Amino acid sequence: SAGSSELADQWIFEAMRNTDLSDVPDGKHCAEALGPKIQGNPLKLKEHICVLFNLQAPVFENIARTFNELRDALTDLESLYSPGCRAEGIVFRHEDGRQAKIKCKDF
């Protein structure tokens, strides 16, 4: 179980403390902790935060749909969340709730 005094969990709890959730509606949300001591900090963030991607996800307009076009687009796709950094990937969301994620490193 997670505990704020556990060394492995300290950055997760710091991210939770640094994240303003006052405007987040009640319910279940998908979130990810990000920051300097988490997963190598690929977005080069200065502090630990939680991002609720189901509420705050940036949207790529006109993203490619074929394998070759996706491979080419994901090769150097820049993050819309943290400009100047490479995007981790993209999530396709269907209006009926289905989702599919493609990571840039998969290509």
Report how far residue 18's alpha carbon sits from residue 72's, in angstroms, rounded to the nearest whole number: 36
DSSP string, 72-87: HHHHTPBPSSSTTSB-
Q: Look at residue 85 in the predicted model and tell me its pLDDT.
A: 92
pLDDT by residue for the chain (107 residues), tens digit each? 566 567 779 999 999 999 998 999 998 888 899 999 999 999 999 999 998 877 777 788 888 889 999 999 898 889 887 889 998 888 888 889 898 889 988 87
Q: Look at residue 2 in the predicted model and tell me its pLDDT.
A: 61
For the entire predicted model, the pTM comes to: 0.72
Report how far residue 45's alpha carbon sits from residue 35's, in angstroms, rounded to the nearest whole number: 5
